[in-house]
Amino acid sequence: MSRWSIGRKRRSGRGRRLRRLLGGAAVLVLLVYLNNASWLAGDREGGPLLLAHRGIAQTFPMEGIENDTCTAERIHEPEHPYLENTIASMEAAFAAGADVVELDVKPTKDGRFAVFHDWTLDCRTDGKGVTTDYTMAELKQLDIGYGYTADGGRSYPFRGKGVGLMPSLDEVLARFPDRELLVHMKSRNAEEGKQLAQTIAALPEERRSRLTVYGDDEPVAALRELLPQQRAMSKALMKSCLLPYEALGWTGYVPKACRGTEIHLPEGMAPWVWGWPNRFVNRMAGADVRVIVVGGDGSGFSSGFDQPGDLERLPAGYTGGIWTNRIDLIAPVYKGK
């Protein structure tokens, strides 16, 4: 056999191996695509789950927001009478069509939890200092509408109207015994996680099942150590779920660390998770994971889907959770209220 024939045979063999390799790669790519194609996912019943951030609250522009920004001093012109984190605002949110209401908790001097957002009382109330300087009864005497202004301090439309409106967590739990609540711990103190765990542990199991807790890593970890089955969310929990999912989720695998948690997924990151949106939401639901999409790209403060036009940024037929500061405007789009 000539050298030319031998060379041609070798080149032909290499060509066949290359074609088989490329063919195998193409099949693998096709299988990965089909396994993660959202349009092939089964439809889930009902519309998306609507989460009302702080009930129905006064909104404010997000531009230039820092951790210590007093947002009460920059609200939009009021369109409704409700103040965040009050019983009335939560009642109105559920009546408007919220499936879940988010609320913030801070510890008090007498070992209870007040439902209040800010690090200090100075911004939106007529009080000074922090909640742990006061008993719950003393906090009830404050005017939580004192600091709100939409015109740079020329007028204060809620001043004098917020006395007695700061509720305790106990009051909220009693007022909404069968409603879904998302409880936000507003500190990095692990002791608060232990304190909240004790509060939740005293509730009937059915009531506990309707509560989700989120916050910084330390208090959430402390709470989960005492209540490992409690649905929760923190950055650490999300990383332990989503990082391995990004590595292996193309196979359909959902990491064990995801189970029984909640994921707050920035809309800018969502398209990069395997199976987004329907396949991903279905997989997570099968592992008892609640997916909530929030505005933003995850690099700063998250925002909500607060105007009907904002919903156009979501994929058609999306049935996961939606974070909103204006449940009164968003719920009618889905629920016809």
pLDDT averaged per 10 residues in sequence order, the chain, 337 residues: 57 70 62 59 76 96 86 96 98 98 98 96 97 98 98 97 98 98 96 98 96 98 97 97 96 95 96 94 95 88 91 93 97 82
Q: How far is CA 322 from the centre of its chain?
A: 8
Alpha-carbon torsion, ordered 308, 179, 83, 115, to 10 deg: -130
Beta strands in 64-158 (DSSP E): 100-107, 113-115
Beta strands 100-107 and 113-115 are antiparallel
How much is the pLDDT for 322? 98
How much is the pLDDT for 65? 83
SS3 192: helix
Provide Rg for the chain, Cα atoms.
25
Q: How many other β-carbons are positioned within 10 Å of the β-carbon of residue 209?
A: 13
Contact present, 35 and 81 (Cβ < 8 Å): no
Alpha helices in the chain (DSSP H): 3-36, 87-96, 136-139, 169-175, 190-201, 205-208, 217-226, 235-248, 278-286, 327-335
How much is the pLDDT for 28? 55
What backbone phi and psi angles, to 5 degrees, belong to 101? -115, 130
Place of tokens 């007028």: 155
